[in-house]
Amino acid sequence: MANFIKLEDSPMFQNQISFLENTTNELKDRCQTLYKGSKKFMTALGEAFNGDNSFADSLEAFGGGQDDPISVSIGGPIVSKFINAFRELANYKEMLLSQVEHLLADRLMHFMTVDLQDVKESRQQFNKAKYVYDQAREKFVSLKKNTRGDIVVELEEDLQNSKFSFERRRFDLATALMNIEAKKKYEFLESISAIMDAHLRYFKQGYDILSQLEPFIHQVLIYAQQSKELANVEQEKLEKRIQEFRTQAEIDTLRVSNNIEPSTNAGSIQVVGMNLDKSVEPLILSSIEGEVQTIKQGYLLKRSSSRGDWKRRFFVLDSRGSLYYYRNKGIKPMGYHHQHTGSAGDSSGVFAKFRARHSRSLSFNEGTLGSRTVDLRASTIKLDTEDTDLRLCFRILTPLKTYTLQAENGVDRMDWVNKITAVIVSLLNSHIQQQHVDIPRPPSNVTSPNSHGTSEIEQTGYRAEPISSVLRKIPGNDVCAECSAAEPDWASLNLCILLCIECSGVHRNLGVHISKVRSLTLDVKVWEPSIVELFCTLGNAYCNSIWEGSLLKNESVDEPKATNTSVPKPCAKDVISLKEKYIHAKYVDKLLIIKDALQPGDPPNLTNIWQAVKTDNIQEVYRLLAISEANIVNTTFDDIVSIELYHHVVDAQDSSLEKEQHDPLDCQRIKDSNDPGNCLQGCSLLHLACQGGNCVMLELLLQFGADINMRDFHGRTPLHHCVALGNNSLAKHLLRRGAKSSITDEGGLSALERAMEKGAIKDEELFILLNGS
């Protein structure tokens, strides 16, 4: 340091002290200014933190993350992701506030209250020591020659002590000033740099969280744009319908003004029947297939049978032959419910699923409102009235009650009369009153097409039957697979057999790792199309040919059943203990299975099952899974080939290579063919089934315990393969079975991110499942 080169008490030394003190005083003023600014900055950060949290709270109150109808309709479940991001950003801002406080404000305060205060105190002590020293010196130099020696000695000693104190205080002041000079060269730079580093981390953390959200944000923006376009289309349709409605209303008004109305003298159904509406009968016939449509709906005045006053009611005539009316104004008919829900289901926006759920909830609430039904099966209709001369009235006569109704104009009255008459005639002619039954609607997931288009179940249409009737038509399924009891009502999902209630109890005691027991009538949600098709492919007859192979072999050569085993097959009337012994020997000990006799050179079961899955041979896969002693359902490509046939021989042998080399996008085999299935290293049977696209094969492997989240050499799960192949149906099937979309491949991307790489996800159900699992 250049200051205080000479430490003697001299004018130059005092000048340096004075200069440094002036600099220190100016620095103190600047520190106070900076401290005030830092406090304002901290206040602003605190307000920003509170503002971010308040905004997140307001978004949540607006509907984010909630499941009420309004929140669902505005996309609340999607906004919840953004709310979490805002809260994270607020937390980062709070961390920045804390760092500004500790790294700048607190250090500034310490500098002003400790270091600068030390200079001030040192100056005060120096001034006091200087005064004492000056006094002692003046006394000593003012002594006369004849002063006694003891006084001279005493004053000299005081002079030396005061000089020593003066020198010490002089150096203390110099040290304090030099401490300020030293600290000002690094203290402030260090604090400011630390604050800038804190800002760097703050913005980097914010960038990281927003960059992770970027694909999701873009996806939502795409869907929002699609929803906007769809809303515009719906608005145009509504305007067009309104215009058509107004035009039709004007036409009806003109018809009324021209007095286009038949004579009111006709009194019976036969006369009115001359003008039957021919469009009614096809609608009546379509209702037999379960499709209910609205024939006519609108307001009529209904006269009360007790008080005789007229009240406006909304009437609906549907293709089931039902005429019913609502008590309250503005209530929508069932036909409207059906059309509204359908239009919601056809929307392609990301909010479509939520809005459809919202529409269904509204429809449900409307459906719960009371309505009255008029039985038309034994009714007749007349245009006259008994006690009124009103010209727009007509009556419906039923065995129990007469309904007197009044239309708003003549055309509307005749339209109601003709359509009701046509319905009555159709009901009488075709005897629909005996034939009409409520056809159970299949669950929505039954009609979902698989990767190959419409499934066999949907083509045959037998899902309208009870599931028990469908499954009992399969060969051998008319009796229990264990005791041959008739009409079994239970099933083992993974073994694909039907059971009686007594044998189902024995199966349940084996444990779900051996048999998963479900009811044909109670567990209705279990029987999805893939499960039913799996049962249709196998069935009791085929399954028993595997599990009871030795029994069937003995029967074919007329040998006693107990020739090779001491466990005979029980009958329906046998005691439960015999059935337990037999079932345990059959499935746990596998005593009745005829196992393959492998000769030297024959391919092992691992190779056979791989080939069976590859060729979609479901029965062979089932047989190999059943006869194998070890669990082979998670067999991989690496298990059936030698290391020389690996696609990545070097990578497989050297685990020290960087992870980036396993990225599927870097795999040359995948690049060359643009097919994710071209690189099979590490792939399991489930991966192979996904590449084949057979949902039934996939279901069989899952029922036998295949690892749904198993990763191949490139870190891809079966879900990754389905997404890469664009097989949305299988991808949704895996997600419903528990596949985790959050698992990333060796390229660091999840199934959702891989799907977004291919473009906008138009299947909103797949998008929601990928985003939520």
Could you report the per-residue pLDDT of 646-678, keeping only the tens digit for each?
A: 555 554 444 444 444 577 776 766 666 555 556
pLDDT score at 217 = 85
- Rounded average pLDDT over 161-166: 91
Residues 440-454 pLDDT 10s: 333 333 333 343 333
Q: Look up residue 233 and give its amino acid.
A: V
pLDDT greater at residue 330 or residue 740: 740
pLDDT score at 468 = 86
Residues 39-59 pLDDT 10s: 999 999 999 999 999 998 888
Smallest CA-to-CA distance from 690 within 664, 727, 716 is with 727
pLDDT score at 511 = 87
Length of the chain (residues) = 773
At residue 64 the predicted structure's pLDDT band, cuts being 50, 70 and 90, is low
Residue 271 falls in which region: left (phi positive, over 0), alpha (psi -120 to 50) or beta: alpha
Residues 79-125 pLDDT 10s: 888 888 889 999 999 999 999 999 999 999 998 999 899 999 999 99
d(CA 239, CA 226): 20
pLDDT score at 294 = 83
Yes or no: domain 11-198 corresponds to CATH 1.20.1270.60:
yes
Q: Of the given ranges (70-84, 129-143, 677-691), which has the lowest mean pLDDT?
A: 70-84
At which residue do the structure tokens 């005996």 appear? 434
Structural element, H or E, at residue 200 = helix 187-257
Whether the per-residue pLDDT at 349 is higher than 60: the answer is: no
First to last CA, the chain: 66
pLDDT averaged over the chain?
A: 78
pLDDT greater at residue 714 or residue 642: 714
Fold for the domain defined by 456-588: Annexin V; domain 1 (1.10.220)
Class of CATH domain 605-772:
mainly alpha
Smallest CA-to-CA distance from 404 within 520, 313, 538, 516 is with 313
Q: Look up residue 456 and give its amino acid.
A: E
pLDDT greater at residue 132 or residue 277: 132
Whether the per-residue pLDDT at 431 is higher than 90: the answer is: no
pLDDT greater at residue 758 or residue 670: 758
Half-sphere exposure of 174 (CA within 13 A, CB side): 18
pLDDT score at 304 = 83
Which DSSP symbol is given to 101? Answer: I
pLDDT score at 677 = 57
pLDDT score at 287 = 59
d(CA 749, CA 10): 75
pLDDT greater at residue 623 or residue 219: 623
CB-based contact 618:696 (threshold 8 Å):
yes
pLDDT score at 698 = 92
pLDDT greater at residue 424 or residue 190: 190
pLDDT greater at residue 72 or residue 357: 72
Q: Of the given ranges (353-367, 634-648, 682-696), which has the lowest mean pLDDT?
A: 353-367
At which residue do the structure tokens 């760092």 appear? 99
Distant-in-sequence, close-in-space partners of 82: CB < 8 Å, separation ≥ 6: 59, 64, 213
Whether the per-residue pLDDT at 70 is higher than 50: the answer is: yes
Domain residue ranges in the chain:
11-198, 269-331+369-435, 456-588, 605-772
Smallest CA-to-CA distance from 374 within 398, 353, 350 is with 398
Whether the per-residue pLDDT at 388 is higher than 70: the answer is: no
pLDDT score at 128 = 94
Yes or no: domain 269-331+369-435 corresponds to CATH 1.20.1250.20:
no
Could you count the other beta carbons within 10 Å of the beta carbon of residue 234?
12
d(CA 309, CA 655): 90
Percent of the chain with pLDDT over 70: 75
pLDDT score at 748 = 83
Percent of the chain with pLDDT over 90: 26
Q: Of the given ranges (84-88, 222-226, 304-308), which has the lowest mean pLDDT?
A: 304-308
pLDDT score at 370 = 59
Residues 237-284 pLDDT 10s: 999 988 888 887 777 667 555 644 443 333 333 333 345 556 666 666
- Rounded average pLDDT over 613-634: 90
pLDDT score at 621 = 93
pLDDT score at 617 = 92
Residues 200-219 pLDDT 10s: 999 999 999 988 888 888 88
Q: pTM of the prediction?
A: 0.46
d(CA 65, CA 616): 43
d(CA 614, CA 402): 70
pLDDT score at 286 = 60
Residues 16-34 pLDDT 10s: 888 888 998 999 999 999 9
CA distances from 591 to 556, 566, 584, 595 (A): 18, 10, 9, 10
Whether the per-residue pLDDT at 141 is higher than 70: the answer is: yes
CA distances from 384 to 304, 308, 381, 424 (A): 17, 17, 9, 18
d(CA 506, CA 496): 16
Radius of gyration of the chain (CA): 45
At residue 192 the predicted structure's pLDDT band, cuts being 50, 70 and 90, is very high
pLDDT score at 438 = 35
Whether the per-residue pLDDT at 600 is higher than 70: the answer is: no
At residue 288 the predicted structure's pLDDT band, cuts being 50, 70 and 90, is low
